[in-house]
Structure 1
Amino acid sequence: MGRGILGLVGLAATLAFAVPVGLLGLDMLTRGDTLLGGGFLAVAALMVVLQEYLTTPGDVPERVVDRLVGRVAKEPEGDSGTEAEREGPE
């Protein structure tokens, strides 16, 4: 499923907060503090994963509309081509 513009903006905002936390975790790991570094890396990963897969009350109307549009706007299976193509040469 494609990501809409608002989804991309939300992901960018999440990454703006998650990347510094992840970099802090990497820095802590390289300095030898494995527990704190691993914890910060886990928090950064969780920030991105939760933003991507957690359904919030604001997401519910968007999902309902996506499902309804998919059902209403389906193209009939038998209709392929334009009307002129179906009639054939005259």
Structure 2
Amino acid sequence: MAGIIETIKFAGTLVLALPAALAGLELLLLRGQTGFGVALLGLAVGLVIAQHWLTMPTDIPELLAERVMGTIAKEPDAEGDDEP
């Protein structure tokens, strides 16, 4: 389940990727400029993939905070299975 911070980061990436993708589609399909169209589509896809897979230096404090919170607030085990 994605957190609110990850959702906001993804939305920010889409703000940059969608105009490039739409311009690439227009150049590719309507204007016949395949080179620029494919390049812009590749850029848009690359932005989304890079945001999803790469860890940026600004993400390190967030990752550390998630790890600390995971060790502090562990989910309770399923109790009550053995008791009547």
In the superposition, relative to structure 1, how do residues 6 and 76 fare at CA in structure 2: closer, same or farther (>3 Å)?
closer
Amino acid at match of 1:63: L
State which structure, 1 or 2, has the greater radius of gyration over its C-alpha atoms. 1
How far the C-alpha of 1:61 sits from its partner, in A, is 2.0
TM-score relative to the length of structure 1: 0.74
In the superposition, relative to structure 1, how do residues 70 and 54 fare at CA in structure 2: closer, same or farther (>3 Å)?
same
What is the 5 A alignment of 1:27-46? 27-30=26-29, 31-46=31-46
RMSD: 2.3
How far the C-alpha of 1:25 sits from its partner, in A, is 0.3
Whole-angstrom distance in 1 between the partners of 2:75 and 2:13: 37
The runs of 5 or more residues in structure 1 that have no matched partner are: none
Whole-angstrom distance in 2 between the partners of 1:24 and 1:36: 9
The runs of 5 or more residues in structure 2 that have no matched partner are: none
Counterpart of 2:5 in structure 1 is: 6
Runs of 4+ aligned residues of structure 1 deviating over 2 Å after TM superposition are: 64-77
Whole-angstrom distance in 2 between the partners of 1:14 and 1:76: 36
- Percent identity, aligned pairs only, is 39
What is the 5 A alignment of 1:16-27? 16-27=15-26
